[in-house]
């Protein structure tokens, strides 16, 4: 059976949809919990620090926060479990807001009307792409006693 050239080309193009190029460079966050997680990212852009959020990542899924080759070595993450409470946090303080935000600068959060939040550091070792996995073990409780 002969396959017409145009049909063959369409078949090959269609197969590319099922076998995507895995060399895509991104900064990805995978939520390995069953809860919905809100994620904020801190990064340096041309020497100026910024924070951005909130990416909503459903349980057991991944999302690209930055697409394309990474241009910094260090990135910072703060995340909250929207269903059960708790956070993934660290001791590097940057600005956040309750609603969707993109904030230039990390100083004087309170005086500028933002919250001061502890992020944890990700050292990408200058790689083109990176993936962070948020797990139950890394989450800290938000309840106080």
Domains and CATH numbers, the chain: 24-138 (2.60.40)
Per-residue pLDDT tens for 82-101? 999 999 999 999 999 999 99
Which 3-state string (H, E, C) describes 63-94?
EEEEECCCCCCEEEEEEEECCCCCEECCCEEE
Only one residue has tokens 């390995």, namely 32
If DSSP codes are grouped into helix, strand and coil, which group holds residue 27?
Answer: strand
- How high is the pLDDT of residue 116? 97
Q: Side-chain half-sphere of 67: how many Cα atoms within 13 Å?
A: 1
Q: What is the pLDDT of residues 31-84, one digit of tens each?
A: 999 999 999 999 998 889 999 999 999 999 999 999 999 989 999 999 999 999
């Amino acid at each position: 059976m002969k396959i017409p050239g145009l049909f063959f080309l369409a078949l090959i193009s269609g197969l590319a949809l099922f076998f995507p190029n895995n060399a895509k460079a991104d900064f990805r966050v995978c939520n390995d919990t069953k809860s919905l997680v809100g994620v904020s990212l801190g990064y340096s852009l041309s020497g100026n620090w910024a924070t951005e959020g909130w990416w909503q990542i459903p349980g057991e899924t991944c999302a690209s926060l930055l697409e394309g080759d990474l241009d910094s070595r260090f990135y910072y993450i703060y995340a909250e479990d929207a269903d059960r409470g708790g956070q993934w946090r660290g001791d590097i303080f940057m600005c956040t807001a309750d609603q969707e935000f993109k904030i230039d600068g990390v100083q004087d959060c309170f005086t500028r009307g933002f919250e001061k939040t502890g992020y944890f550091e990700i050292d990408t070792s200058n790689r083109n792409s990176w993936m962070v996995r948020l797990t139950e073990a890394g989450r800290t409780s938000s309840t106080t006693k």
